[in-house]
Amino acid sequence: MINLTYPIAPSEMQTKNFHSNVPFTLESGQELPEIELTYTTYGRINAAQDNVIWIIHALTGDSRVGDWWNGMVGEDKFFDPADYFIICVNLLGSCYGSTSPLSQNPKTGKPYFYDFPLLTTRDMAKSLDLVRESIGIKKIHTLLGGSLGGQVALEWAYQLGDSLEKLVILASTAKSSPWVIGFNESQRMAIESDCTWGEENPDAGKKGLETARAIAMLSYRHPSDFARKQESPSGMLDNFRAASYLRYQGQKLAKRFTAFSYWILSKAMDNHDLGRNRDSYQDALKKIKARTLAVGVNSDLLFLPEESLEISRFVPKGSYREIQSTAGHDAFLIEFEQLHYILKSFYVSTESRN
């Protein structure tokens, strides 16, 4: 637990673990006997406790947001620890310190492996709120999330109500489309095709995960980006640059992630529906009270920009901006200069209305 009055140096980073022995009931009705969530903080909470920036990572991210979003978080960056208390929690089901399929099931004394229950973005949002309560945060200045992180952020924003001031959703959606589900299913099929999948081994499905990542990269990028960066010299018959790039990306992820977490988190992305048991996702969006900025990417082939635009249209205090980039879906992790300008404009506009 963080002591809110302790003078943490603005540049200091702390990684901590939240642990709860209280059974965690999931949306499916199943339970996790206990949960652990790893989280990283930067900076300190001010006396008014009105400078909390909460960032939710995407599918294979971790809590060290200063590493994977270093163009936005860090000294002299848009979110500077000298000004803000920045926190990122490794999502439930992920393999970077939080309860996941490779965690020990206290009921059996063995890892969950394939018995790990189905998760939803609503479950993830609920677990984040437990961390918030344990730290003692009553108000969040800004909640940001991209892709899967944006889906979780929408769910949590619905639950937070007046406790959240500003919401920023990057390249995401209020309900996963058949297109997104199809991409994810093809990746899980790749994992299933690995002959080691089904073994109770932490490395099970590793080769399948490499293929899954290659498929995912095709949805994260845009054809024009591939043409610009992966074009091979004319006259080649084999060993094309694009092929080598995808193999490299697959191997790179398989070294740091697990097929088990990939399976669980991609399933949660599939079943994301802000409107489940709430009439419709449009109706649920109307109940979000925070000033909301939805950011689309003009070249995004996975979460289409019109899906981000739709979020802004139904949230009562919603607005929309678009990143112009050839990078595709991953532009929200790359186009720092545009994001800086977009967020600065959003902050100025919201402050002028208060």
Strands 104-105 vs 110-111: parallel, antiparallel or unpaired: antiparallel
The catalytic residue among 57, 222, 272, 329 is: 329
Output the pLDDT for position 246. 96
User: Which pLDDT score, from 0 to 100, does residue 349 have?
Assistant: 86
| pLDDT digit string, tens, across residues 157-191 | 999 999 999 999 999 999 999 999 999 999 999 99
- Going from N- to C-terminal start, the domains of the chain cover 13-176+274-353, 179-269
pLDDT of residue 214: 97
For the chain, the distance separating the N- and C-terminal CA atoms, rounded to the nearest angstrom, is 33
Q: d(Cα 286, Cα 295) in Å, to the nearest integer?
A: 18
Task: Kindly state the tokens that stand for 140.
Answer: 């969040």
Rounded to an integer, what distance in angstroms lies between the CA atom of residue 77 and that of residue 197? 42
For the cut 90, the answer to whether the pLDDT of residue 76 exceeds it is yes
Residues 6+ apart with CB under 8 A from 68: 57, 61, 62, 333
- The two beta strands, 85-89 and 31-32, are unpaired
Beta bridge partners of 42: 13, 86
Arithmetic mean of pLDDT, 316-340: 97
pLDDT tens digits, 246-285 = 999 999 999 999 999 999 999 999 999 999 999 999 999 9
Give the pLDDT band of residue 353 (cuts 50, 70, 90).
low
pLDDT value for 352: 63
| Integer Cα distance of 250 and 242 in angstroms | 12
Query: Which one of 123, 194, 300, 330 is the catalytic residue?
Result: 300
- At 13-27, the pLDDT tens digits run 999 999 999 999 999
Query: What would the CATH number be for the domain defined by 179-269?
Result: 1.10.1740.110
What number of CA atoms fall less than 13 Å from residue 179's CA on the CB side?
A: 9
Percentage of the chain exceeding pLDDT 70 = 96
CATH fold label, 13-176+274-353: Rossmann fold (3.40.50)
Tell me, what's the pLDDT at 231? 85
Which carries the bigger pLDDT value, residue 69 or residue 239?
Answer: 69
Could you say which of 147, 266, 308, 325 is catalytic? 147
Q: Over 60: is that where the pLDDT of 4 sits?
A: no
* Separation in Å, CA 98 to CA 34, 108, 117: 11, 18, 14
Among 351, 347, 352, 348, smallest CA distance to 53 is for 347
In the annotation, is 147 catalytic? yes
Active site residue 57: no
Residues 254 and 209 sit within 8 Å (Cβ to Cβ): yes
Mean pLDDT of the chain: 94
pLDDT of residue 238: 87
